[in-house]
Amino acid sequence: MSFSGTGNRPAVERQQLLRAARVLGPMAGPGTMAAQLMRLLCDPHAKVSEIAAVLTTEPGLCARVLRVANSSFYGVTREVTTIDGAVLLLGLDVVRGIAAAASLDRLLLTDADATAADVPAVIRHALASAAAAQLLAGLARPGLEPEAFLGGLLHNLGVLVQLRLDPAGVRRMLEHRAGDRGHGIRALEAQLGVPGHEECLALVFEEWQLPASVIALARHHHEPAEAPEEHRVLTALVGVGATLALRAGATYPLEPEAGACPAGALELLGLGPESLDEVQRALPAWVAALRSALHG
């Protein structure tokens, strides 16, 4: 079974794409503990006991979550020693976000293609996008902050799938970028016949059986107005958050600079330029504090 290309993008065999994704740690197959954890983290109705049970099977990740929970970023007054205790002090939504952010380090790759694509910068962009999306949600849609944060973390990981699926195509994109920054990433994919990063990620998330809202933002964060109506606001939060992250300097080689906000996104959110300025001012300090908490 293949999924259709868009524009000049080729159709790609679904199983070929999933094989490419399985080498990326938490992007592994749907039956893995990593996929189970991500399903739980993305499920707003997940129970504390379910998340704690999965985290305790991953000692390294569990220890990292507890270290972040005890950092000055969250200002706890007594040491947190268990996931249940972290949830009690910080709330389940905060712990969901910490666990998702802490798991991103497993995506770091070490081969030449990964070095050229600057995978650490891709992850820095994800963290900045998550922070911006959460700040935007606080202004536009209070109550959507946890989902916006998780969506921002996950939205551009299709680039890493793309890197494994078509490394030669990604190299062509990077070479083109060196001489011309005027094309957006989607236009560049179409021009050079590289499978789209949005569709790559959306299909992985479908395989993981993640919520429809997460699949929609993976597929449409560059064009939120194209998302199903019930998911447009969350997708717009992530799309605008990613733009603000780029404006704040959280770029990576395939997106070296920011363009305009996605078409129609600000109207969907009911936000104006002054709101974007407010988030833009707060973002660098917020991201610095978050990264310090995650990396010690």
| Domain ranges, ordered by start, for the chain | 13-295
Q: What integer pLDDT is reported at residue 126 of this predicted model?
A: 92
Residues 41, 2: Cα–Cα separation, whole Å:
28
pLDDT given at position 71: 81
Token pair for 220: 């449409």
- Which residues, listed in sequence order, are joined to residue 12 by a DSSP beta bridge? 3
Segments of the chain with pLDDT less than 70: 1-12, 18-35, 105-113, 181-182, 296
Burial string for 11-49 (b: 16+ CB within 10 Å, else e) reads ebeeeebbebbbebbbbbebeeebbbbbbbbbeeeeeee
What is the pLDDT at residue 102?
A: 79
Of the candidates 20, 250, 212, 254, the one whose C-alpha atom is nearest the C-alpha of residue 130 is: 250
pLDDT of res. 34: 64
Q: In a 10 Å sphere around its CB, with 0-12 CB exposed, 13-18 middle and 19+ buried, how is residue 57 labelled?
A: exposed
Distances in whole angstroms, Cα of residue 10 to Cα of each of 20, 72, 195, 199, 248: 16, 48, 6, 11, 33
Residue 47 is classified by DSSP as: -
User: pLDDT at position 230, please?
Assistant: 97
Fill in the amino acid letter for 275: S
**Residue 214: how many CA atoms within 13 Å on its side-chain side?**
27
**Per-residue confidence (pLDDT) for residue 26, from 0 to 100:** 47
The pLDDT value given to residue 11 = 58
Q: How far apart are CA 102 and CA 282, in angstroms?
A: 22
Q: Please state the three-class secondary structure of 55-102 as a single string.
A: HCCCHHHHHHHHHHHCCCCCCCCCCCCCHHHHHHHHCHHHHHHHHHHH
For the domain made up of 13-295, the CATH class stated in words is mainly alpha
213 contacts 231 by C-beta, under 8 angstroms = yes
